[in-house]
Chains A and B, each alone.
Chain A
Amino acid sequence: AQTVTQSQPEMSVQEAETVTLSCTYDTSESNYYLFWYKQPPSRQMILVIRQEAYKQQNATENRFSVNFQKAAKSFSLKISDSQLGDTAMYFCAFAPRGGSEKLVFGKGTKLTVNP
Protein backbone atom coordinates (compact mmCIF):
# COMPACT_ATOMS: atom_id res chain seq x y z
CA ALA A 1 0.00 0.00 0.00
CA GLN A 2 1.11 3.52 -0.71
CA THR A 3 1.31 6.23 1.93
CA VAL A 4 1.87 9.96 1.67
CA THR A 5 3.11 12.01 4.63
CA GLN A 6 3.00 15.77 5.00
CA SER A 7 4.73 16.69 8.24
CA GLN A 8 3.80 20.39 8.28
CA PRO A 9 0.16 20.87 9.30
CA GLU A 10 0.40 24.66 8.95
CA MET A 11 2.79 27.15 7.44
CA SER A 12 2.80 30.87 6.85
CA VAL A 13 4.79 33.15 4.59
CA GLN A 14 4.95 36.82 3.82
CA GLU A 15 3.70 38.02 0.49
CA ALA A 16 6.43 37.97 -2.20
CA GLU A 17 8.59 35.54 -0.25
CA THR A 18 9.37 31.91 -0.99
CA VAL A 19 8.03 28.92 0.91
CA THR A 20 8.68 25.18 0.65
CA LEU A 21 6.15 22.52 1.58
CA SER A 22 7.42 19.02 2.38
CA CYS A 23 6.10 15.63 1.37
CA THR A 24 7.42 12.10 1.67
CA TYR A 25 5.84 8.95 0.32
CA ASP A 26 6.25 5.22 0.46
CA THR A 27 5.59 2.79 -2.36
CA SER A 28 6.89 -0.37 -3.95
CA GLU A 29 5.73 0.78 -7.39
CA SER A 30 8.37 1.66 -9.94
CA ASN A 31 6.17 3.75 -12.21
CA TYR A 32 4.03 6.42 -10.64
CA TYR A 33 3.06 10.07 -10.57
CA LEU A 34 3.29 12.64 -7.82
CA PHE A 35 1.12 15.71 -7.52
CA TRP A 36 0.51 18.84 -5.54
CA TYR A 37 -3.12 19.91 -5.31
CA LYS A 38 -4.45 23.21 -3.99
CA GLN A 39 -7.77 23.46 -2.16
CA PRO A 40 -8.71 27.10 -1.45
CA PRO A 41 -11.23 27.72 1.33
CA SER A 42 -14.65 26.53 0.21
CA ARG A 43 -13.44 26.03 -3.33
CA GLN A 44 -12.61 23.13 -5.58
CA MET A 45 -9.44 21.08 -5.54
CA ILE A 46 -7.19 22.04 -8.43
CA LEU A 47 -3.97 20.53 -9.73
CA VAL A 48 -0.91 22.70 -9.17
CA ILE A 49 1.87 20.54 -10.56
CA ARG A 50 2.61 16.97 -11.61
CA GLN A 51 5.81 14.92 -11.68
CA GLU A 52 6.34 11.64 -13.50
CA ALA A 53 8.62 9.36 -11.47
CA TYR A 54 10.58 8.26 -14.52
CA LYS A 55 11.57 11.84 -15.31
CA GLN A 56 14.65 13.09 -13.50
CA GLN A 57 14.00 16.73 -14.32
CA ASN A 58 11.99 18.54 -11.69
CA ALA A 59 8.65 19.90 -12.87
CA THR A 60 7.98 23.63 -12.88
CA GLU A 61 4.81 25.63 -13.47
CA ASN A 62 5.37 29.37 -13.34
CA ARG A 63 5.98 30.23 -9.65
CA PHE A 64 5.62 26.60 -8.56
CA SER A 65 8.43 24.07 -8.72
CA VAL A 66 9.19 20.73 -7.11
CA ASN A 67 12.26 19.06 -5.70
CA PHE A 68 11.82 15.37 -6.50
CA GLN A 69 14.27 13.03 -4.78
CA LYS A 70 13.27 9.54 -5.91
CA ALA A 71 15.74 7.59 -3.79
CA ALA A 72 14.69 9.48 -0.68
CA LYS A 73 11.01 9.33 -1.71
CA SER A 74 10.73 13.02 -1.15
CA PHE A 75 8.66 15.49 -3.15
CA SER A 76 8.64 19.09 -1.93
CA LEU A 77 6.83 22.07 -3.43
CA LYS A 78 8.44 25.48 -3.68
CA ILE A 79 6.25 28.52 -4.16
CA SER A 80 8.16 31.61 -5.24
CA ASP A 81 6.91 35.20 -5.00
CA SER A 82 4.00 34.10 -2.80
CA GLN A 83 0.69 35.82 -3.45
CA LEU A 84 -2.35 36.28 -1.23
CA GLY A 85 -4.28 33.99 -3.58
CA ASP A 86 -1.91 31.16 -2.73
CA THR A 87 -3.57 30.87 0.69
CA ALA A 88 -5.07 27.38 0.70
CA MET A 89 -4.70 23.79 1.82
CA TYR A 90 -2.03 22.02 -0.20
CA PHE A 91 -2.18 18.27 -0.64
CA CYS A 92 0.60 16.04 -1.86
CA ALA A 93 -0.73 13.01 -3.74
CA PHE A 94 0.51 9.82 -5.37
CA ALA A 95 -0.94 7.69 -8.15
CA PRO A 96 0.43 4.48 -9.63
CA ARG A 97 0.87 4.56 -13.38
CA GLY A 98 -1.68 2.45 -15.17
CA GLY A 99 -4.81 0.94 -13.73
CA SER A 100 -7.32 3.31 -12.24
CA GLU A 101 -4.72 5.95 -11.34
CA LYS A 102 -6.63 6.58 -8.12
CA LEU A 103 -5.02 9.24 -5.96
CA VAL A 104 -3.56 8.69 -2.49
CA PHE A 105 -3.41 11.98 -0.60
CA GLY A 106 -1.46 13.26 2.37
CA LYS A 107 -3.21 15.06 5.22
CA GLY A 108 -2.41 18.45 3.81
CA THR A 109 -0.57 21.62 4.79
CA LYS A 110 -2.51 24.78 5.48
CA LEU A 111 -0.60 27.67 3.92
CA THR A 112 -1.35 31.25 4.85
CA VAL A 113 0.17 34.11 2.87
CA ASN A 114 0.31 37.27 4.95
CA PRO A 115 0.26 40.79 3.46
Chain B
Amino acid sequence: GAGVSQSPRYKVAKRGQDVALRCDPISGHVSLFWYQQALGQGPEFLTYFQNEAQLDKSGLPSDRFFAERPEGSVSTLKIQRTQQEDSAVYLCASSLDLPNRDYHEQYFGPGTRLTVT
Protein backbone atom coordinates (compact mmCIF):
# COMPACT_ATOMS: atom_id res chain seq x y z
CA GLY B 1 0.00 0.00 0.00
CA ALA B 2 0.95 3.66 -0.13
CA GLY B 3 3.49 4.87 2.36
CA VAL B 4 3.81 8.23 4.08
CA SER B 5 3.98 11.03 1.55
CA GLN B 6 5.17 14.58 2.00
CA SER B 7 4.89 17.66 -0.16
CA PRO B 8 6.59 19.59 -1.46
CA ARG B 9 9.75 17.53 -1.59
CA TYR B 10 11.85 20.70 -1.92
CA LYS B 11 11.06 24.24 -0.85
CA VAL B 12 13.15 27.36 -1.19
CA ALA B 13 11.95 30.32 0.83
CA LYS B 14 13.31 33.78 1.28
CA ARG B 15 14.00 34.81 4.83
CA GLY B 16 10.82 36.16 6.36
CA GLN B 17 8.42 34.16 4.21
CA ASP B 18 5.88 31.75 5.62
CA VAL B 19 5.91 28.11 4.51
CA ALA B 20 3.52 25.17 4.87
CA LEU B 21 4.69 21.58 4.69
CA ARG B 22 2.20 18.76 4.21
CA CYS B 23 2.23 15.19 5.45
CA ASP B 24 -0.11 12.43 4.30
CA PRO B 25 0.24 9.52 6.74
CA ILE B 26 -0.52 5.91 5.96
CA SER B 27 -4.29 5.47 5.92
CA GLY B 28 -5.62 4.51 9.33
CA HIS B 29 -2.50 5.45 11.24
CA VAL B 30 -3.46 7.11 14.50
CA SER B 31 -0.15 8.65 15.51
CA LEU B 32 1.78 11.24 13.55
CA PHE B 33 5.19 12.71 14.32
CA TRP B 34 7.20 15.59 12.88
CA TYR B 35 11.00 15.63 13.09
CA GLN B 36 13.58 18.18 11.96
CA GLN B 37 16.86 16.92 10.49
CA ALA B 38 19.60 19.51 10.08
CA LEU B 39 22.41 18.78 7.64
CA GLY B 40 24.72 16.09 8.98
CA GLN B 41 22.61 15.50 12.08
CA GLY B 42 20.08 12.99 13.30
CA PRO B 43 16.39 13.85 13.27
CA GLU B 44 15.05 15.79 16.24
CA PHE B 45 11.49 15.49 17.50
CA LEU B 46 9.21 18.46 16.94
CA THR B 47 5.66 17.40 17.73
CA TYR B 48 3.25 14.45 18.06
CA PHE B 49 -0.43 13.95 17.27
CA GLN B 50 -2.77 11.21 18.28
CA ASN B 51 -5.65 11.55 15.83
CA GLU B 52 -6.41 15.27 15.77
CA ALA B 53 -5.05 15.96 19.26
CA GLN B 54 -1.60 17.47 19.53
CA LEU B 55 -0.34 15.70 22.64
CA ASP B 56 3.29 16.81 22.64
CA LYS B 57 4.76 19.93 21.08
CA SER B 58 7.78 20.15 23.30
CA GLY B 59 10.23 20.02 20.40
CA LEU B 60 8.92 23.00 18.46
CA PRO B 61 11.86 25.44 18.53
CA SER B 62 9.88 28.66 18.65
CA ASP B 63 6.39 30.10 18.40
CA ARG B 64 7.03 30.56 14.69
CA PHE B 65 6.43 26.83 14.30
CA PHE B 66 2.87 25.57 14.29
CA ALA B 67 1.43 22.17 13.41
CA GLU B 68 -2.10 20.95 12.94
CA ARG B 69 -4.01 17.80 12.04
CA PRO B 70 -7.62 18.97 12.05
CA GLU B 71 -9.32 15.79 10.82
CA GLY B 72 -6.92 13.28 12.25
CA SER B 73 -5.31 12.39 8.93
CA VAL B 74 -3.32 14.95 6.91
CA SER B 75 -1.03 17.21 8.92
CA THR B 76 0.52 20.54 8.09
CA LEU B 77 3.63 22.03 9.64
CA LYS B 78 3.70 25.80 9.25
CA ILE B 79 6.74 27.98 9.78
CA GLN B 80 6.18 31.70 9.96
CA ARG B 81 8.81 34.34 9.17
CA THR B 82 11.39 31.74 8.17
CA GLN B 83 14.99 32.18 9.29
CA GLN B 84 18.17 30.67 7.86
CA GLU B 85 18.46 28.35 10.85
CA ASP B 86 15.16 26.77 9.80
CA SER B 87 16.91 25.22 6.79
CA ALA B 88 16.63 21.46 7.28
CA VAL B 89 14.81 18.35 6.13
CA TYR B 90 11.43 18.00 7.82
CA LEU B 91 10.41 14.39 8.27
CA CYS B 92 6.95 13.09 9.00
CA ALA B 93 6.28 9.64 10.45
CA SER B 94 3.10 7.77 11.28
CA SER B 95 2.25 4.69 13.30
CA LEU B 96 -0.80 2.45 13.66
CA ASP B 97 -1.15 2.11 17.44
CA LEU B 98 -2.82 -1.26 17.60
CA PRO B 99 -4.24 -2.04 21.04
CA ASN B 100 -2.37 -4.62 23.06
CA ARG B 101 0.63 -4.25 20.78
CA ASP B 102 3.97 -3.77 22.51
CA TYR B 103 5.45 -1.24 20.15
CA HIS B 104 4.14 0.76 17.24
CA GLU B 105 6.64 1.13 14.42
CA GLN B 106 7.00 4.57 12.94
CA TYR B 107 7.00 4.73 9.14
CA PHE B 108 8.80 7.71 7.71
CA GLY B 109 8.05 9.85 4.69
CA PRO B 110 10.73 11.06 2.25
CA GLY B 111 10.94 14.46 3.91
CA THR B 112 10.71 18.05 2.72
CA ARG B 113 14.04 19.81 2.24
CA LEU B 114 13.59 23.46 3.22
CA THR B 115 16.23 25.97 2.22
CA VAL B 116 15.90 29.50 3.52
CA THR B 117 17.93 32.06 1.59
Contact = CB atoms under 8 A, between A and B. Distances in A.
Interface of A: 4, 33, 43-47, 50, 52, 91, 93, 97, 99-108
Nearest to A6: B42
Q: Is the interface of A mostly helix, strand, loop or mixed?
A: loop
Contact of B108 (A33, A44, A52): A44
Contacts of A100: 31, 33, 48, 50, 55-56
A97 B103 CA distance: 8
A105 B110 contact: no
A52 B103 contact: yes
Given A44-B3, A91-B42, A102 B105 contact: no
Interface in B25-52: 31, 33, 35, 40-45, 48, 50
Q: Which of B4, B35, B103 has the most CB of A within 10 A?
A: B103
Given A100-B56, A101-B104, A102-B56, 7 more contacts: A45-B43, A93-B42, A99-B56, A100-B33, A101-B106, A103-B106, A104-B45
Contacts of A102: 33, 45, 48, 56, 59
B102 A52 contact: yes
Given A100-B55, A102-B33, A102-B48, A46 B42 contact: no
Nearest to A4: B42
A43 B110 CA distance: 6
Nearest to B110: A44
A105 B41 CA distance: 9
A103 B93 CA distance: 10
Nearest to B44: A105
Contact of B41 (A45, A97, A107): A107
A28 B6 CA distance: 35
Contacts of B109: 44
Nearest to B95: A101
A45 B105 contact: no
A100 B111 CA distance: 21
